[in-house]
Amino acid sequence: MSPEQLRHARVLVVGDVMLDRYWFSSVERISPEAPVPVALVQREQDRLGGAANVALNAATLGARTTLLSVVGNDDAGRRLAQLVADTSIRSALHQIPGLRTTMKLRLVSRQQQLIRMDFESAPDHEVLLDLMDRYEQELEGHDVVLLSDYGKGGLGHVERMVQLARARSRKVLVDPKGRDYSRYHGATMITPNRAEFALAAGDWRDESELERRAQAMREQLQLEALLVTRADEGMSLFTAAGALHVPAQAKEVFDVSGAGDTVIATLAVMLGAGAALDEAVRTANRAASIVVGKLGTASVTPAELWPQP
């Protein structure tokens, strides 16, 4: 697979978008009012978060990427829409009056988070129903659907989304959330991390038990594949053909924020470009090893994945 081939991928990203806001500060003293550090904010930075970061990762790799989601008609929503407009992502964001756009505010000092503050509200049922017509329209122009579930309410009709996409022979990749994965029944692949999979399937004592639990879930949900991302233990792919374990490649882990976004976006782009599943997984593993060496939510470029000699 070459970087040029990735441009043929057409990826539709649907899910919970959010604004990642960073306040970079210096801490030199303790407050006289309470035993807490005094952070002097010196610089601010806004980044795309959640499904928006997934879309950014896909677009950075060269795929023709559409982002379908809802935001509020508030400062965070307008800022998020502006950030999307500054990229090559094709925006299908719907601004909803009264909805509070999800924002994660991180206070950072010396490249370490001091605190994270979250602001959010869930969209109502009717708002999500209104998105379904647009979703069906967008399916016609895309090969791969990527459903990014952050548990913020944006995928309230995910079962129907999976059914509609699979009925049109589209590949459906899901970044899951919660204990109950039955709503992802029939998807092509789900990509839980180690903790998420343990929450849904139970913990395991050894590799053979992990494989039994993963294959049982894959068969129950009628998935083509299940990928468990395991941080420093790499990734484990489970299909009808068996298990494929890919060791981690990261030499230095700086920040794991958004690594799962990079993994599923890379998988979607590779599959959309026609890559075999094992090649897509190995490339996604390499992408993850690159992105964890960066601060905060970040993306990977084709040049980083395939450096020239």
- Tokens, residue 178: 């919660």
At position 12, the amino acid (one-letter code) is: L
Residues β-bridged to residue 10:
64
Active site residue 261: yes
Separation between Cα atoms, residue 46 and residue 154, nearest integer Å: 21
Q: Which residues neighbour 246 within 8 Å (Cβ) at sequence distance 6 or greater?
A: 234, 235, 236, 237, 281, 282, 285
Question: Which residue out of 74, 143, 149, 261 is catalytically annotated?
Answer: 261
Locate tokens 């959640």: which residue? 50
Question: Integer distance in angstroms from the first to the last C-alpha of the chain?
Answer: 17
Sign of the Cα torsion 258, 261, 267, 270 reads negative
Q: At what angle do helices 51-60 and 75-85 cross, to 10 degrees?
A: 10
The set of catalytic residues is 261
